[in-house]
Amino acid sequence: MSALTVIFCVWTLVALCAVFFIRGASARIEQPVGVKPAQPSRYSIAE
């Protein structure tokens, strides 16, 4: 392999690791599929 190919492969690996790390470290605030939002009870004081 030429030196440019090695450099390209190393940079690609570093970029992929950075993307996967950032995606894994980000907070997930999405609700799971099929879960309905909680509704207040009929006798709730907070209403």
**Per-residue pLDDT at 14:** 96
What is the spatial distance between Cα 27 and Cα 11, in angstroms, rounded to a whole number?
26
What is the spatial distance between Cα 24 and Cα 43, in angstroms, rounded to a whole number?
41
H or E stretch covering 9: helix 3-25
All structural domains of the chain with their residue ranges: 1-25
**Per-residue pLDDT at 39:** 67
What region does 42 belong to: left with phi over 0, alpha with psi -120 to 50, or beta? alpha
The per-residue pLDDT for range 1-47, each reduced to its tens digit, is 799 999 999 999 999 999 989 888 776 676 666 656 666 667 666 65
> What predicted TM-score, i.e. pTM, was given to this entire model?
0.51
